[in-house]
């Protein structure tokens, strides 16, 4: 929907691909759907859910058996994002390195984007 022909809207690191593949096979899912919703102290939060099928107009990115489905309304905000999976001593999880983010809360759970040209500023 908001893609550049021949360019994937997001990239997936090998670590993220391995984790997504594990989740998909463990739950017999078609892919991991990524989106955005209003919320958090910075204004927007990433959403993730296992999906049984791709919905119309979703962008699909595949790597090494992993499949990421990007909700249509999130595509313009996620374009250029690298999805990684990091494992640490205290926490493990997916990390989004998104060049479109203009601000993030201290805990890293929510982000803010510049308002689109011609639209109202985010509340």
Q: Determine the Cα–Cα distance for residues 74 and 7; give it in Å rounded to an integer.
A: 16
User: What residues does 33 pair with on adjacent strands?
Assistant: 49, 69
Residue, of 117 and 30, whose pLDDT is higher: 30
Give the number of other CB atoms < 10 A from CB of residue 50: 16
- The predicted-structure confidence for 18-54, as pLDDT tens digits, reads as follows 999 999 999 999 999 999 888 776 677 889 999 999 9
Question: Does residue 63 sit in helix, strand or coil?
Answer: strand
Structure-model confidence comparison of residues 80 and 118, the more confident one: 80
In this prediction, residue 103 carries a pLDDT of 64
The rounded mean pLDDT for the chain is 84
Query: CA 77 to CA 35: how far, in whole Å?
Result: 9
CB burial of residue 45 (10 Å; 0-12, 13-18, 19+): middle
Distance of CA 88 to the CA centre of its chain: 21
- How many C-beta atoms surround the C-beta of residue 66 within 10 A? 21
Cα–Cα distance between 75 and 37 in angstroms, integer? Answer: 13
pLDDT at 69 over 70: yes
The CATH class for the domain spanning 10-111 reads mainly beta
Distance CA 34, CA 8 (A): 14
């Amino acid at each position: 929907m908001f893609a550049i022909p021949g360019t994937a809207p997001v990239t997936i690191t090998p670590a993220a691909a391995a984790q997504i593949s594990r989740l998909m096979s463990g739950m017999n899912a078609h892919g991991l759907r990524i989106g955005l919703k209003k919320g958090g102290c910075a204004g927007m939060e990433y959403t993730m859910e296992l999906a049984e099928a791709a919905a119309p107009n979703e962008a699909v990115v595949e790597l090494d058996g992993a499949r990421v489905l990007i909700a249509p309304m999130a595509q313009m905000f996620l374009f250029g994002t690298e999805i990684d999976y990091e494992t640490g001593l205290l926490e493990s999880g997916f990390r989004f390195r998104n060049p479109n983010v203009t601000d993030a809360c201290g805990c890293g759970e929510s982000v803010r984007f510049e308002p689109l040209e011609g639209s109202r500023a985010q509340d």
